[in-house]
Amino acid sequence: MKAKKKKKDVLSKGGPSMELDHYLDDPYFKKKLAEANAFIARVGLPKELEHRLNR
Amino acid sequence: MNLEAYDLLPGSSGFAFEFISVGPKGRIEKIVTYTEMETPGFFNLGFGDKDPITKRMDDLSRSGNGDTEKVLASVVQTLLQFTSLNPNAIVHAKGSTKARNRLYQMGISKYLDDVMKNFKVYGFSTSGWEVFKKGIPYEAFMAHRLSFTTPT
């Protein structure tokens, strides 16, 4: 009996996907970004990186 | 770093990536994004599952597809790709749950020696930010390439 062809577990190769960039505006990631900004506003940055705030 | 990871599909901007987790629960599409924060040069790492029907991100997904290490390795690969294109980026990651933070922690700890060859990693705990150490339950993480330079 012929073995069933295994479904590929990789994405189709090719160039970068423009469609994927839409996820940068997905409400889920917007919410995560807002939470991250609020977290950093509350706790600050590692001392070694604080100078980046003054750029 | 030679970890078994899924093939990545990058977005054309270089700020979003997709890979497919394969396991007992089937094929689960995972999205990783890097979004610039209010502090310029800092990027938030976002990670989650795509709803197979709506194609929107699923906030409540707990995929548990038995491939945690491979998924973590794939996220690390996105970090390598993103920071190779943006070598001065500082990446912030904070799990949406304690469990997800533990997962990040395990991943960083397990490959710490390799990670430290390329990155400086910080963890945030009740004592504040510090250089990442094994065995401390961190609430958030930051990482940047060792080759990172400060613009003058």
For B71-87, the pLDDT digits (tens) are 988 998 999 999 999 99
What is the CA B111 to chain-centroid distance, rounded? 13
**Residue A7: per-residue pLDDT:** 47
Taking an 8 Å cut-off on Cβ atoms, the answer to whether B142 and A49 are in contact is yes
Distance from the Cα of A4 to chain B's closest Cα (Å) equals 17
Instruction: Please list, in sequence order, all residues whose beta carbon lies within 8 angstroms of the beta carbon of residue A42, skipping any fewer than 6 positions away.
Output: none
Contact B50, A20 (CB under 8 A): no
For B88-139, the pLDDT digits (tens) are 999 999 987 887 788 788 878 887 888 888 899 999 999 999 999 988 999 9
**Residue B57: per-residue pLDDT:** 87
Distance from the Cα of A44 to chain B's closest Cα (Å) equals 9
User: pLDDT tens track of chain A, all 55 residues?
Assistant: 444 444 444 455 556 778 899 999 999 999 999 999 999 999 999 999 988 766 5
Structure tokens at B81: 């790709």
For B14-61, the pLDDT digits (tens) are 999 999 999 999 999 999 999 999 999 999 999 999 988 888 887 666
Structure tokens at B6: 């899924």
Structure tokens at B108: 């960083």
Q: Does A8 touch chain B (CB under 8 A)?
A: no
pTM (predicted TM-score): 0.86
Instruction: Please list, in sequence order, all residues whose beta carbon lies within 8 angstroms of the beta carbon of residue B149, skipping any fewer than 6 positions away.
Output: B87, B88
Distance between terminal CA atoms of chain B? 31
Task: Find the radius of gyration of the CA atoms of chain A.
Answer: 21
Q: What's the ipTM?
A: 0.88
